[in-house]
Amino acid sequence: MSSLPAPAARADALGPVSFRAYVGLGGNLGEAHETLEAALTALQAVAGAQIEAVSSAYRSRPVDADGPDYINAVAAVRSSLGPLELLHALQTIEECHGRERPYRHAPRTLDLDLLLYDTARRHSTELTLPHPRWAERAFVLEPLAEVAQALGDVLTALPDQTERARLASLQGIEKSPRALHFK
């Protein structure tokens, strides 16, 4: 485990133009904490992407699905990659961790979602930005609010604390006592 490089070093490594993206991480099969940590390490190694901050881990019940509880988190990523390039990098990381898509909402070893990419709005068969259900899922909202606040990022579309608490109660989410670490 190592600390992130200083912000100036990250910006220099990315080149003159970069954007902040928020990536949702989740898994509910196997050793989910370890898988999320390995995914963060892999994401940190992607050329053109540097992790700026990672939320706490959260445990949540599956939404619209069956299976064991999920471990979820959100990472803020500074990226010089375009949205589709970053999505493809995330999908490659998922595949390396045994992600299968047998049916919609199937339990999974790893799920990486591109939630937000700067202020981009996009709707295609391959990618929708912002993520279509990000504002309805407590397992996204709580870690997203945490990491955005840590970076001083004001996400105006983020539901207020009262609404987030209501969703967290309904959807059964709680902060995990176990922190996420990566190299």
pLDDT tens-place string over residues 7-65: 334 444 566 688 999 999 999 999 999 999 999 999 999 999 999 999 999 999 888 77
> Any residues with CB less than 8 A from the CB of 6 and at least 6 apart, and which?
none
In terms of pLDDT, which residue wins out, 2 or 29?
29
Q: With 0-12 CB in 10 A as exposed, 13-18 as middle and 19+ as buried, what is 142?
A: buried
**What is the DSSP code (8-state) at residue 113?**
E
Which sequence positions are flagged as catalytic? 99, 108, 111, 113
Average pLDDT over the chain reads 86
* Residue 4 pLDDT: 30
Cα gap 22→58, rounded to integer Å: 16
Cα gap 79→28, rounded to integer Å: 27
Cα 151 to Cα 48, 62, 107, 156, distances in angstroms? 20, 28, 31, 14
Is the model's pLDDT at 170 over the cut of 50? yes
